[in-house]
Amino acid sequence: MVFFPPAKLNLGLHILGKRPDGFHDLESVFLPLRWTDILEVTLDENVSAGEARFEWTGLDIPGSATDNLVTRAHRLLADKHALPGLSIHLHKILPMGAGLGGGSADGTYTLRAINEVCKLGLSPQELAHDAAQLGSDCPFFLQDGAALVQGRGEHIAPIDLNKVLDGCHVVVANPGIHIGTAEAFALVTPQARTADWHGLADVPLSQWRMHLRNDFEAGVRAQHIAVDELLTRMAEAGADHVQMTGTGSTVFGLFTDSTSANRAAALCKASGQGIVWQGLY
Ligand code: C5P
């Protein structure tokens, strides 16, 4: 069975405060993109029960090939349920350490895939519990649309921004700079303020910047000239909304017209570094 774990963008990323458990409370709208990895999970008689043969193609996965969010998701379920032998193939397309949530999507889709392929019949609550154990961004990928995400990442409520985002052009540019999530959170200064997230649906895209901020952006921008340049290029090309996603280093532009989006993609590609993706929301 083949699955397509998507990238996400953060619309705003407000860090509200540090919690007693060491994590941070945040608020952000997560938007799933049509830009995805490819994950195949199949029953494999040549693999022992409870084990999985994991292979990947595409982009290099830094660190150990035997310890990543896909293998951790499999282990989490194999420790609790009697699983048959499985083969798992990940074709890695989404840049990592990029703020796009690709690793989290892969992990959560592995839970979803094993649940389906092995007919485990896990409830949404069980899946949510397991996804939260895998990582803070993971629970979002259990559902399929835009969502307001709160808490550490475990409180997820669908949000309808289609009035503004329908037909919107998206350009995403990753400069190839890897940012560690824990390090980024350790440096951020929380500010107790929220946004009127649901009110965004009534605000034109070009004014979203007045309501949304990514609390990691200024620090990363100051430290990495490539991020600063990509943000500037998106704005110069005529983006209605420009922002960094997650802890970076990926930046994105939202455009109401395709000519500006094409110009932004060309300008970002001309910078000669990293990966650029362009598509419709
Ligand atoms: O949950 P995840 O493994 O993605 O988190 C990596 C690290 O990022 C955590 O160990 C924590 O230091 C930081 N983090 C945080 N608050 C969040 C999410 C992540 O402080 N809401």
**130 is a catalytic site residue:** no
Q: Which of 8, 92, 215, 240 is catalytic?
A: 8
Could you write out the DSSP letters of every residue in 5-23? PEEEEEEEEEEEEE-TTS-
Bridge partners for 4 per DSSP: none
* Per-residue pLDDT reduced to its tens digit, 1-60: 999 999 999 999 999 999 999 999 999 999 999 999 999 999 999 999 999 999 999 998
Query: Measured from the CB, is residue 42 less than 6 Å from ligand 1?
Result: no
Q: Where are the beta strands (DSSP E) in 64-201?
A: 86-92, 147-151, 155-158, 169-174
Query: Measured from the CB, is residue 14 less than 6 Å from ligand 1?
Result: no
> What is the rounded distance in angstroms from the CA atom of residue 147 to the CA atom of residue 182?
23
Name residues whose C-beta falls within 8 Å of residue 144's C-beta, 6 or more positions apart in sequence.
32
Query: Measured from the CB, is residue 135 less than 6 Å from ligand 1?
Result: yes
- Extract the tokens encoding 204: 């034109």
Among protein residues, the one with the nearest Cα to ligand 1's atom 6 is: 182
* DSSP letter, residue 214: B
pLDDT surpassing 90 at residue 194 = no
**Selected residue with higher pLDDT from 64 and 250:** 250
How many other β-carbons are positioned within 10 Å of the β-carbon of residue 33? 21
Among protein residues, the one with the nearest Cα to ligand 1's atom 9 is: 182
> What is the rounded distance in angstroms from the CA atom of residue 107 to the CA atom of residue 225?
31
**8 is a catalytic site residue:** yes
Query: Measured from the CB, is residue 21 less than 6 Å from ligand 1?
Result: no
* DSSP letter, residue 240: S
Give the global pTM: 0.96
- Residue the block writes with tokens 């999970």: 41
- What distance in angstroms lies between residue 24's CA and the mean position of ligand 1's atoms? 7
Query: Measured from the CB, is residue 112 less than 6 Å from ligand 1?
Result: no
Among protein residues, the one with the nearest Cα to ligand 1's atom 15 is: 23
* Per-residue pLDDT reduced to its tens digit, 133-181: 999 999 999 999 999 999 999 999 999 999 999 999 999 999 999 999 9
pLDDT at 108: 98
> What is the rounded distance in angstroms from the CA atom of residue 87 to the CA atom of residue 20?
40
pLDDT surpassing 90 at residue 65 = no
Among protein residues, the one with the nearest Cα to ligand 1's atom 7 is: 182
Q: Which of 106, 137, 215, 240 is catalytic?
A: 137
Angle at 18 between CA 13 and CA 22, to 5 degrees: 115
pLDDT surpassing 90 at residue 62 = no
* Per-residue pLDDT reduced to its tens digit, 242-269: 999 999 999 999 999 999 999 999 999 9
